[in-house]
Chains A and B, each alone.
Chain A
């Protein structure tokens, strides 16, 4: 288990996201209104929409394609939709964001 430094927190807009490309995989790294940072596979469980492009609110993101609401905390779709997006471990240290990529 190792941590990879990604970028300063301030490179991610509050209530926004950035895309991190790790090999073939895109990861959405999100920042909430209260400056918590989360990372999800950048793909909605519904039709694969790029979640990083959605509107972030509370600890959720609304997918830009069909507005499924996905929890940033556990990647689960809000009821009554059923689905799940993979999550990545994140930490913020000295203003920098780190991800655990080797899972």
Chain B
């Protein structure tokens, strides 16, 4: 059967991104032909500024080589501008005479620089700034001429001006407004930017209207303003805006209105014709930044693949300037108005300015200058419309990534050299990441993680990687959206998956995958463990727990080590042991020649280096319950000595710790769960950094939640104070149960609370007495009859042959 023909007009970033997305979901569906009017394959247009500034070469910024087109059986026509679409015959014709038929047509004709309609605009030496040709012309001009004038003090204009300065020209930027980047900055930050650019030798003429370009022998020689002033100019770059290219579509009778009009599926008024990119007018908006174009491309691809699920609903954009050494960030409505509030931080000498615009308890706009560390964080809150009253008093001071470990305490990328290590787990330096972003054309955090491994292990450096990505890509950077799909096997988010499982009462992974339309036959190593957890936590005693969808540690109830051996940690409730237990552990360690015996941070004993085939025998000899030191489950309840012995103790923390550990034993959770109970505010059990930390005071117990002593130290937040240890069990049990029911798989309690807010947790656990009681009962029901997995494996040895090696 003949494949349908897809013709793409426009070989730029939007069109090719749509093709790439299409190839990902429907690789062999179409015969694809691409027309581009430039002589190059698809390149990274947003990297032209670094090319002009001598930081990169043209070869560095090619995104799809000619070999790529060949490998994917795509016919590529370069230097071939399409000048006619015949919608009746369903053909397109290029200026060079080539005519091609289409079944589906994708228009991605982009935009062009707006050239001011003033006398002299046609002179030689007057350019827009759009493509490789323009860039090469500027570099060439810089070798012969001295005076450059850039008209337009927007992002593109300033990047061009900076590049021309680096090329050795004397550069003046002319701008109509009274400050630079008025679409990205307010007056104060605009002035700060101007000062730092002036310090680099750029000159500025603000509030100037250009009247005409003066020429001699056909080449520009000067710029004259309406106030009569004239300045010399051998090169004039117009950067006053872009205009969508829609003349081709309009001439074919497709509805246009300052852009090719498309609906939310990126379809034009002709159902066979789609359009993406800067040529498009979507809900009345034409976008000029790359992040929205990629969103459009993704949506369009799903429809071209007849997999019509994507809807494009517009984008909120943020911007960064790609001038090395200058950090600025802005998003949303950063100017504010009478009915908005403002939080401001301004250090003129230190060159730092931050402004947050707030309305109805949410951030609606932000400008950051000099320190953009938290730009992505603010932007995320802006897009999620997150209520900020809980964190308002320290909002301005940022996400405080100073608690992070593993990268030399650095939290500002601009202060790091290329050789400095960003990812301490995988040993990835800043330079390596920048290089990968540039050379491999990466646009998302996930791309960077996959290619460089930075941020792919413990994840503590993700914020830094994000900053590197944002500063390298500038306007091309798209922060990850908050509710993303579980993995590549589905479009559904974690929340949607949980809801579906609840609604349709799926009880097994195959049933759930089939019901939710999973794209893969049996998922992947990311979604299967998540699904398994969601099933058993939503339908305890009913859903089937699938061992093959659990990570090895939970499958064999021991923790795998780097050499493939395992560690064995028996439970010691509340960290209390006895001479008998210790003797048994010592005997077992001798018998199995355990290479290392170590006391853990959770107050118990770890036997390390055990062979898998020895596990069952060892458990039989130990005759102690599993400590679950390997699972997304309850780990330990750490305790201090308490009132039994301690002269300061006010409460019996040891006994309460033992009670809690026994009550919640065998509990699976989205991630590991750690408790601690201290008998007085000296807090020797470190309750402040546990998922649930309990502190005894004379009149009762204080309960703290959401602490974390790991990658990023998080201090637990006060939840409530109760009188009795029974209440501690009920309150903390209800808290953990709601976390078990609502958090995303692999979220620690701190991440979950960050998302839903402590107010929400208080409402559910503290204020709603009935809800608390039933939540606690649901937890007890889920744990009913749970048996020790080690004893079970010892008893039913024959059913667990996976521990045995087959010898041949």
Range of interface residues on chain B?
20 to 34
Q: Chain B residues near A64 (CB, 8 Å)?
A: 551-552, 560
Q: A57-B525, A58-B520, A80-B450 are in contact. Are A14 and B805 (CB under 8 A)?
A: no
Query: Nearest Cβ in chain A — how far from B582, in angstroms?
Result: 31
Question: Which residues of chain B in 497-546 are interfacial with respect to chain A, using CB atoms and an 8 Å cutoff?
Answer: 520-525, 528-529
Q: Chain B residues near A47 (CB, 8 Å)?
A: 562
Contact B802 A57 (CB under 8 A): no
Contact code string B537-568 (vs A, CB < 8 Å = 1, else 0): 00000000001110110011000101110000
User: Which residue on chain A has the smallest CB distance to residue B613?
Assistant: A19
A75 at the interface (CB under 8 A from B): no
Question: Which residues of chain A in 1-50 are interfacial with respect to chain B, using CB atoms and an 8 Å cutoff?
Answer: 4, 6-7, 11, 13-16, 18-22, 26, 29, 33-34, 47-50
Contact A53 B560 (CB under 8 A): yes
Q: Chain A residues near B337 (CB, 8 Å)?
A: none
How far apart are the CA atoms of A13 and B522 in the complex, in Å?
14
Q: A15-B548, A47-B562, A65-B560 are in contact. Are A57 and B520 (CB under 8 A)?
A: yes
How far apart are the CA atoms of A80 and B446 in the complex, in Å?
12
Q: Chain B residues near A65 (CB, 8 Å)?
A: 560, 562
Q: Chain A residues near B562 (CB, 8 Å)?
A: 47, 65
B75 at the interface (CB under 8 A from A): no
How far apart are the CA atoms of A55 and B494 in the complex, in Å?
20
Q: A47-B562, A57-B528, A101-B808 are in contact. Are A18 and B802 (CB under 8 A)?
A: yes
Q: Chain A residues near B805 (CB, 8 Å)?
A: 18-21, 26
Q: Chain B residues near A76 (CB, 8 Å)?
A: none
B806 at the interface (CB under 8 A from A): yes
Query: Nearest Cβ in chain A — how far from B692, in angstroms?
Result: 29
Q: Chain B residues near A34 (CB, 8 Å)?
A: 521
Query: Nearest Cβ in chain B — how far from A72, in angstroms?
Result: 13
Query: Nearest Cβ in chain A — how far from B448, in angstroms?
Result: 11
How far apart are the CA atoms of A22 and B807 in the complex, in Å?
6
Question: Which residues of chain B in 221-251 are interfacial with respect to chain A, using CB atoms and an 8 Å cutoff?
Answer: none
Q: A34-B521, A57-B523 are in contact. Are A21 and B548 (CB under 8 A)?
A: no
Contact A55 B808 (CB under 8 A): no
Query: Nearest Cβ in chain B — how far from A36, in angstroms?
Result: 12
Contact A19 B548 (CB under 8 A): no
Contact code string A77-92 (vs B, CB < 8 Å = 1, else 0): 0001000000000000
How far apart are the CA atoms of A54 and B560 in the complex, in Å?
11
Question: Which residues of chain B in 404-461 are interfacial with respect to chain A, using CB atoms and an 8 Å cutoff?
Answer: 450-451, 457
B340 at the interface (CB under 8 A from A): no
B483 at the interface (CB under 8 A from A): no
B801 at the interface (CB under 8 A from A): yes
Contact of A15 among B457, B522, B529, B807 (CB under 8 A): B522
With A20-B805, A48-B564, A53-B556 given, name 11 new contacts (CB 8 A).
Answer: A11-B801, A15-B548, A18-B801, A21-B808, A47-B562, A50-B560, A55-B551, A55-B552, A57-B520, A58-B524, A66-B457
Contact B521 A58 (CB under 8 A): yes
User: Which residue on chain A has the smallest CB distance to residue B561?
Assistant: A65
Contact A55 B450 (CB under 8 A): no
Contact B548 A55 (CB under 8 A): yes
Q: Chain B residues near A49 (CB, 8 Å)?
A: 564
Contact A50 B564 (CB under 8 A): yes
Q: A49-B564, A57-B528 are in contact. Are A6 and B806 (CB under 8 A)?
A: yes
How far apart are the CA atoms of A47 and B451 in the complex, in Å?
18
Query: Nearest Cβ in chain A — how far from B432, in angstroms?
Result: 13
User: Which residue on chain B has the smallest CB distance to residue A42?
Assistant: B564
Per CB-CB distance, the 10 closest pairs between chain A and chain B, nearest first, are: A62-B525, A15-B548, A33-B522, A50-B564, A55-B525, A53-B552, A64-B552, A19-B805, A21-B807, A20-B806
Contact B806 A19 (CB under 8 A): yes
Q: Chain B residues near A33 (CB, 8 Å)?
A: 521-522
Determine which residue in A11, A13, A26, A53 has the highest number of CB atoms from chain B within 10 A of its CB, and name it.
A53
Query: Nearest Cβ in chain B — how far from A35, in angstroms?
Result: 12
User: Which residue on chain A has the smallest CB distance to residue B527?
Assistant: A57
Query: Nearest Cβ in chain A — how far from B666, in angstroms?
Result: 22
How far apart are the CA atoms of A55 and B554 in the complex, in Å?
12
How far apart are the CA atoms of A18 and B564 in the complex, in Å?
14
Question: Which residues of chain B in 793-808 are interfacial with respect to chain A, using CB atoms and an 8 Å cutoff?
Answer: 801-802, 805-808
Determine which residue in A14, A19, A21, A69 has the highest number of CB atoms from chain B within 10 A of its CB, and name it.
A19
User: Which residue on chain A has the smallest CB distance to residue B457?
Assistant: A66
Q: Chain B residues near A56 (CB, 8 Å)?
A: 548
User: Which residue on chain A has the smallest CB distance to residue B525?
Assistant: A62
How far apart are the CA atoms of A99 and B450 in the complex, in Å?
34
Contact B802 A16 (CB under 8 A): yes
Query: Nearest Cβ in chain A — how far from B240, in angstroms?
Result: 41
How far apart are the CA atoms of A47 and B563 in the complex, in Å?
9
Determine which residue in A15, A16, A26, A29 has the highest number of CB atoms from chain B within 10 A of its CB, and name it.
A15
How far apart are the CA atoms of A14 and B801 in the complex, in Å?
14
Query: Nearest Cβ in chain B — how far from A45, in angstroms?
Result: 15
How far apart are the CA atoms of A92 and B274 in the complex, in Å?
50
Contact A18 B548 (CB under 8 A): no
How far apart are the CA atoms of A34 and B563 in the complex, in Å?
31
User: Which residue on chain A has the smallest CB distance to residue B436?
Assistant: A80
Q: Chain A residues near B551 (CB, 8 Å)?
A: 55, 64
Question: Which residues of chain B in 760-808 are interfacial with respect to chain A, using CB atoms and an 8 Å cutoff?
Answer: 801-802, 805-808
Q: Chain B residues near A26 (CB, 8 Å)?
A: 805
Determine which residue in B523, B548, B562 has the highest number of CB atoms from chain A within 10 A of its CB, and name it.
B548
Contact B522 A22 (CB under 8 A): no
Q: Chain A residues near B522 (CB, 8 Å)?
A: 15, 33, 57-58
Contact code string B157-197 (vs A, CB < 8 Å = 1, else 0): 00000000000000000000000000000000000000000
